Amino acid sequence: MFNILQKVLLKPMTKIAQYRIVRAIMAAGMASIPFTIVGSMILVLNILPTVFHPLTGFFNATFFKFSDLYMIANTATMGILAMYFSLAIGFELTRIIQTEDKLKVAPLNGAFLSLFAFFMCLPELVMKGGKIVLLNSITDNEKVINGFRMTSTIDRIGTSGIFTAIIMAILAVWLYTFCVKHNWTIKMPDAVPEGVSRSFTALIPTFVIAFVVLAINGGLVLLGTDIFKMIAIPFSFVTSMTNTWLGIMVIEFLIHALWIVGIHGANIISAFITPIFLANMVSNSHGANIPFAGEFNNSFAILGGSGATLGLCIFIALLARSEQLKVLGRASIVPSLFNINEPLIFGLPIVYNPYLAIPFFLAPMVTASVAYAAINFHFIRPIVIQAPWPSPAGIGAFISTVDWRASVLAILCVIIAFLIYLPFIKIYDTKLYHDEQGIPTKS
């Protein structure tokens, strides 16, 4: 089977992985590893008492007195992850073009121009009185000040903004290199220091990027939308999908399709499906038997985090040949136990990684199917309680259903997902191991 996968998958995967944009995005994922690990570890500390209730009193008397202080580390990592991606992709993509095309562009300029383009997309604008104005709305449900929607930080620079950051980085670098190729730059004498010369070289490209992005944003505002809102449009129909196996498969596919392109799929889709699975849970408490209710995903379908990666994380931590995977697995194993796997998604990376895209789609769809069948055919009780989403494998399932058989099913789902990942992670592990050892990859 491994030989077949090597022949059928490795060559096309390797070709896709060599595209400049893919390489830049993967590099951005690598660069984000320390931030995602630190942010996840801090989050685990904050949610432990929601999983192990006897710890609540101890945490209230100790850690939670400083919660606002240490959660700043989470806000400054996971809360602004799109900003890190914007800088990293702009820098890496420009560096690749500089190296391979021998073009006189500066990676630092590419990084700053990418961030510049991304930040211009953040404010929410609306038409009011025939003018384009910044949105201001302060209610019990939302806080938008001068166009910036606020949560613990500016909402759009978190994981929900990664896709826009990627688009803006690609656009900014393309416009920057276009200007340089066509000599739309201000050239300084050789005697001028490099830093000063680099600044003036980027001056005209900065004007061009500003004009293009403002034109795009203005056009979308006139149409009553913006880049962020456009992302949600194709997925609005999710609200009508529930109660059926096909509906669950579509939801799982959409969540993981978004993740593959760098968008926090669970966050986006949950906005549409939360009212549905809460209503289904209430119906179950009154005698219904609806599988998709409560924390169905975190109890059965995606144990370890999106993509059902708990078994994968344990494998790379203990058995990977590549040092890169071993270190990442060991650093990620504690967050994975609590269904937090951003370190894996952005660190392996899974985002835009052709080696792991197939099992990332397939594993949660299979585990969701198994859990759906078990509830639908009354092998286990339906979900009637809203369990904390970070509950470890087996615990969340038991809390949700008050049925010990659900814990067994959850462990079975972990094993099934791992078996799906196994051939793919073996190929990826071998590839990374050969890269580390300097061994040429066979065609």
Residue 358 CB partners (closer than 8 Å, separation 6+)? 424
Could you give the CA distance from residue 211 to residue 206 in angstroms, rounded to a whole number?
A: 9
pLDDT at 6: 56
Place of tokens 């950051």: 165
The pLDDT of residue 236: 45
- Residue 377 DSSP code: T
Say what the pLDDT of residue 9 is.
53
Q: Is the dihedral of CA 217, 218, 219, 221 positive or negative?
A: positive
Q: Could you say which DSSP state residue 54 is in?
A: G
Name the token pair of 287: 């005698």
**Pairwise pLDDT comparison (92 vs 277), residue with the higher score:** 92
> What CA–CA distances, in Å, run from 56 to 50, 53, 69, 175, 388?
8, 5, 18, 53, 14
H or E segment and range at residue 181: helix 162-181
> Is omega for the bond preceding 234 within 30 degrees of 0, making it cis?
no
Of 4, 5, 15, 36, whose CA–CA distance to 349 is shortest? Answer: 36
Q: What is the pTM of this model?
A: 0.68
Amino acid (1-letter code) at residue 178:
F
Nearest to 406 by CA among 432, 376, 378, 381: 381
Q: Give the rounded percent of residues in the chain with a pLDDT score beyond 90.
A: 37
Give CA separation, 283 vs 297, 387, 398, 399, 402, in Å: 18, 16, 19, 17, 16
What does the pLDDT read at residue 326? 92
Average pLDDT of every residue of the chain: 84
What does R_g of the chain's alpha carbons equal in angstroms? 24
What number of CA atoms fall less than 13 Å from residue 295's CA on the CB side? 25
CA distances from residue 134 to 75, 116, 120, 209, 273 in whole angstroms, order as listed: 25, 18, 12, 21, 29
Backbone angles phi, psi at 139, to 5 degrees: -135, -175
* Mean pLDDT, residues 101-108 taken together: 91
- Are 118 and 86 in contact by the 8 Å Cβ rule? The answer is yes
Q: Which DSSP string corresponds to 205-229?
A: HHHHHHHHHHHHHHHHHHTT--HHH
C-beta separation of 251 from 296 below 8 A: no
Over the stretch 124-140, which tens digit does the pLDDT of each residue have? 999 988 899 998 988 87
For 145, what's the count of Cα atoms within 13 Å in the CB-facing half-sphere? 5
- Asked if 388 contacts 339 with a C-beta cutoff of 8 angstroms, the reply is no
408-428 pLDDT per residue, tens = 999 999 999 999 999 999 999
CB 218 within 8 A of CB 123: no
Residue 440 structure tokens: 């040429």
Q: Check: CB of residue 318 under 8 Å from CB of residue 328.
A: no
Question: Average pLDDT of 26-31?
Answer: 80
Least confident of 65-74, 155-164, 340-349, 373-382: 155-164
Average pLDDT over residues 270-286: 70
Q: pLDDT confidence of 104, banded at 50, 70, 90? A: confident
Two tokens, residue 36: 């995602």
Which of helix, strand or coil describes residue 198?
Answer: helix
Summarised one tens digit per residue, pLDDT across range 191-244 is 667 666 667 788 899 999 999 999 999 999 999 888 887 765 554 454 446 678
Which pLDDT score, from 0 to 100, does residue 176 have?
95
Angle at 194 between CA 188 and CA 198, to 5 degrees: 65
